[in-house]
């Protein structure tokens, strides 16, 4: 039995100045670093995901076709293109505190950390089983999209899940509130602080 912290998509493109910026993203990145510096020993593994979309590709319809505008429901502006600065971890997040890196959205939508793989190609579900992870805390960006999807998938996988909302940033207050309600209804613990 081991415990992990999932750090979801704390990337330049999801923070202020990025292609899909969330208000407060840069501060959340800094807060996660502060939290890890004081609490990393509470976790056996720190596992971070990044959107890592394939260049010159619609990524399974994640990006709109040429000449069309994104609808911000199923299509999005170009963001987190593999190898470009927008896909990098935000500089306020100390990446040296991360044990395992997961890349998702490679040629597809990829909202949940469970959609991703390690650099060696291991799926997250396989990794969880191999490492004996039973409990996860989920933090990162965006509360109402990829944090939500990751926490729901973790819950559906039989893990004990807690979302720490002070270490997340959402797209909008309305959709964030709806996501938190959905998580609570699904049996996910939602806590303001750790």
Greatest CA span in the chain, whole angstroms? 50
For this structure, is 104 an active site residue? Answer: yes
- Within 8 A by CB and 6+ apart from 162, the residues are 135, 136, 137, 138, 188, 189, 190, 191
- Under DSSP, is residue 124 helix (H, G, I), strand (E, B) or coil? helix
- Exactly one of 51, 103, 104, 153 is catalytic; name it: 104
Contact 86, 139 (CB under 8 A): no
HSE of 4 in the Cβ direction (CA atoms, 13 Å)?
Answer: 27
Tokens of 13: 């493109």
Distance in angstroms (rounded) separating the CA atoms of residues 186 and 194: 20
The conformational region for residue 65 under phi > 0 = left, psi -120 to 50 = alpha, else beta, is beta
For this structure, is 135 an active site residue? Answer: no
Element of type H or E holding 151: helix 148-156
- Exactly one of 51, 115, 146, 153 is catalytic; name it: 146
**Partners of 133 in the β-ladder:** 2
Residues acting as catalytic residues: 9, 104, 146
């Amino acid at each position: 039995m081991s415990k992990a912290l999932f750090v979801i998509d704390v990337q330049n493109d999801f923070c202020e100045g990025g292609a899909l910026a969330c208000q407060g993203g840069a501060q959340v990145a800094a807060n996660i670093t502060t939290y890890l510096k004081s609490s990393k020993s509470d976790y056996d593994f720190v596992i971070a995901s990044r959107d890592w979309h394939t260049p010159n590709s619609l990524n399974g319809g994640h990006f709109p076709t040429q000449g069309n505008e994104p609808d911000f429901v199923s299509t999005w502006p170009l963001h987190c293109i593999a190898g470009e600065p927008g896909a990098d971890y935000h500089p306020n997040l100390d990446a040296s505190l991360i044990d395992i890196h997961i890349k998702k959205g490679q040629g597809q939508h990829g909202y949940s950390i469970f959609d991703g793989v390690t650099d060696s190609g291991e799926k997250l579900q396989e990794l969880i089983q191999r490492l004996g992870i039973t409990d996860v805390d989920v933090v990162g960006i965006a509360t109402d999209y990829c944090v939500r999807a990751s926490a729901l998938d973790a819950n559906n996988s039989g893990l004990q899940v807690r979302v720490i909302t002070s270490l997340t940033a959402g797209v909008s207050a309305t959709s964030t509130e709806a996501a938190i309600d959905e998580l609570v209804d699904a049996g996910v613990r939602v806590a303001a602080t750790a």
